[in-house]
Structure 1
Amino acid sequence: MPEPLEQADSEFAAVLRAAIRARGLGLERIRDRLRAQGVSVSLATLSYWQSGRSRPERRESMAAVELLEGVLELPAGTLLASLGPPRRRGRWLSTVPVSPDVAAFWPQPDAVEAAVSEVDIKWDERLTRISQHDRVSVGADGGEQSYHSRQVLRAEADGPDRWVVIMHLDEHDRPLPTINPLRHCHLGRTVLRPADGLLVAELLFDRPLRKGETVITEHELVNSEPCPPAGNYERKFRLPVREFVLEICFDPARLPGGCERYSQLDEADEIAVAVEPAESVHGVALNFGPGRYGFRWDWQK
């Protein structure tokens, strides 16, 4: 069995915790001192780093670690050296040795981390993403009507009992969608933050999974009228997926003038491919992530 994240990150987390104790600083004071130097790191991220739930990987996170050494009065390079070699990138792994932060790839990481802190994500890294199929329906008015998601997950330990959904609307003045469990799941805690355009919800399985057991779940998100204008849709993967299928279904009464499929692995450059507009376009990604994958379109002809 792969080591739990807490064990894999023990050196960095242990060095960070010891330094925080030695300086006698609370996480809020550390955050404020970093912010005063022009670097923003959320309380949730600092907490995850010291507990071993995640570790810095992105460029901005590594810059924060360098400043953190100064705040904690550590010799330069102490924390960076404890991170060890960077994780492997752009390859399929049944579990990622060091996963990105939960808010990785989101435009408002602090808001996402704050919302996610109100639900239970402890099993997230013990669920292998076997398959994910998203279908987005776009109406004749160009609005996003609904999103249907089907996924196949495998437990890598005894106990996983939920999946956490994160949904973000670009239009923050619109009502958040309604989430409907459809198969083999029911709603747990739901966090609604309209001001941030965020919905976070737990989908509880019918029962806890045993190690090696798989589950198929389906749910949908439905927007109320008037639906938010649709110009793109993407799925963000902080952990890899073996197969991802994304469908965008347009109303035949109104097709986009242009459409492209795009993807980005980790911090690599984005790759975009033009797609001929049609009533339905789709893309398939195999052994994908961490990263983001989606479609965007233009209504102008």
Structure 2
Amino acid sequence: MDTARTDTFAGALRAAIAERGLGLERIREHLAQHGVKVSLATLSYWQSGRSRPERRSSLAAIGHLEEILALPDGYLASLLGPPRPRGRWLKRVPAQPMPISALWPEPDQVDWAVRQVDTSWDGRLTRLSQHDFVTVGPDRGERAIRSRHVLRAEADGADRWVVIAQVDQPDRQLPVLRPLRHCTVGRLVAHPEAGLVVAELLFDRTLCRGDSIVIEHELVNRPPYPPATDCGRKFRLPVREYVLEIAFDPSVRPVECVQYRRSDGQGETVRPVEVDTGGALLGVALDIGPGSYGFRWKWPDGR
């Protein structure tokens, strides 16, 4: 089979049909014999790329197509990728996601690091919810970030999540990555000169399409702790819900706090916020990304 035409579902289907010399009517009849009703127009749309199987009734045809076209089990299914977004998310999911390194200040260094790990599942995990909890110590240093992710697999086989962390001062020690729930550390790449850590978090089970998982991990800084004047997250792909909590030590409270939100292709929006009575900042963003979201603040002495 011509591999130049098989890097997409439509190309693979079209090439397999041509190789087998089958007409669409013959394929339609074969599917009907197995209780799967697909019109000739739909089959034509699938091989032209105008549409693809997404509904449950359409997805049921994939295995039978692989059988009649003498393709390996799961071959066509592996080329489908995540379902096309619908409704209000339609404009939020980019047709061609930006590179993983795009939102980082030194993209070449991030590119080098992510090539050492497996990022093949990154675009096939829907970010349903992400929650970061940051603690700031009495010395105004960032102690740790605990993160919780709720993810849904859009293809069979998803088994890992990639973490990227970069400290602002490269001369500081890199944070320690601690898996907390439903994951373990796989390959880890440390680049001390760039202040960069990239690591795989391996799920405790392999996901099937439609499965969800909750994973938690923590990035723990080592003294001297990096001074904290801002905290946020970069989003390469959309997240339905993002929660950011920053807990300050009772002995120190920041001033002039602002919440920022930056969307891809748009400017940054900023609004003033206040630390609550418990000494924390709380932000909740819905349908965020691509872009970034977080808080910035100053300390009483102006730093």
Matched, 1:242 2:235: no
- Name which of 118, 121, 127 aligns with 1:120: 118
Which structure 2 residues correspond to residues 55-94 of structure 1 after superposition, within 5 A?
92-93=89-90
Which structure 2 residues correspond to residues 221-232 of structure 1 after superposition, within 5 A?
221-232=219-230
Matched, 1:100 2:98: yes
- Name which of 197, 215, 218 aligns with 1:217: 215
CA RMSD, 1 decimal: 1.8
Deviation of 1:95 after TM superposition, in Å, equals 5.2
Q: Matched residues in 2 for 1:126 and 1:237: separation?
A: 15
- Name which of 126, 129, 146 aligns with 1:131: 129
What TM-score, normalized to structure 2?
Answer: 0.69
Deviations 1:236-267 (A, max 9, x none): 11000000000111011001122111010102
| Corresponding residue number in structure 2 for 1:295 | 295
Q: Matched residues in 2 for 1:241 and 1:199: separation?
A: 22
Deviation of 1:105 after TM superposition, in Å, equals 1.4
Q: Could you tell me whether the CA contact under 8 Å between 1:95 and 1:128 is conserved in 2?
A: no
Q: Matched residues in 2 for 1:99 and 1:165: separation?
A: 18
| Corresponding residue number in structure 2 for 1:53 | none
Structure 2 counterpart of 1:284, one-letter code: V
Q: Matched residues in 2 for 1:205 and 1:179: separation?
A: 15
| Corresponding residue number in structure 2 for 1:280 | 280
Structure 2 counterpart of 1:297, one-letter code: W
Give the SS at the match of 1:161.
strand
Deviations 1:264-286 (A, max 9, x none): 01021011111113411111110
Give the SS at the match of 1:112.
helix
Q: Matched residues in 2 for 1:147 and 1:244: separation?
A: 14
Give the SS at the match of 1:133.
strand
Deviations 1:54-99 (A, max 9, x none): xxxxxxxxxxxxxxxxxxxxxxxxxxxxxxxxxx9xx635854211
Give the SS at the match of 1:150.
strand
- How many correspondences in the alignment? 216
Q: Which has the larger radius of gyration?
A: 2
Deviation of 1:207 after TM superposition, in Å, equals 1.6
Identical columns (%): 54
| Corresponding residue number in structure 1 for 2:191 | 193
Structure 1 counterpart of 2:118, one-letter code: D
| Corresponding residue number in structure 2 for 1:160 | 158
Matched, 1:177 2:175: yes
Give the SS at the match of 2:185.
strand
Give the SS at the match of 1:176.
coil
Structure 2 counterpart of 1:213, one-letter code: D
What runs of 5+ residues in structure 1 fail to find an aligned partner? 1-5, 11-87
Given the superposition, is the C-alpha separation of residues 130 and 146 from structure 1 closer, same or farther in structure 2, using an over 3 Å criterion? same
| Corresponding residue number in structure 2 for 1:74 | none
Deviation of 1:300 after TM superposition, in Å, equals 3.0
Q: Could you tell me whether the CA contact under 8 Å between 1:261 and 1:294 is conserved in 2?
A: yes
Q: Matched residues in 1 for 2:288 and 2:209: separation?
A: 23
Q: Matched residues in 2 for 1:121 and 1:271: separation?
A: 31
| Corresponding residue number in structure 1 for 2:61 | none
What TM-score, normalized to structure 1?
Answer: 0.69
Q: Could you tell me whether the CA contact under 8 Å between 1:92 and 1:288 is conserved in 2?
A: no
Structure 1 counterpart of 2:89, one-letter code: W
Q: Could you tell me whether the CA contact under 8 Å between 1:187 and 1:201 is conserved in 2?
A: yes
Q: Could you tell me whether the CA contact under 8 Å between 1:240 and 1:288 is conserved in 2?
A: yes
What runs of 5+ residues in structure 2 fail to find an aligned partner? 1-6, 12-84
Give the SS at the match of 1:113.
helix
Structure 2 counterpart of 1:92, one-letter code: W
| Corresponding residue number in structure 1 for 2:27 | none
Deviation of 1:183 after TM superposition, in Å, equals 0.4
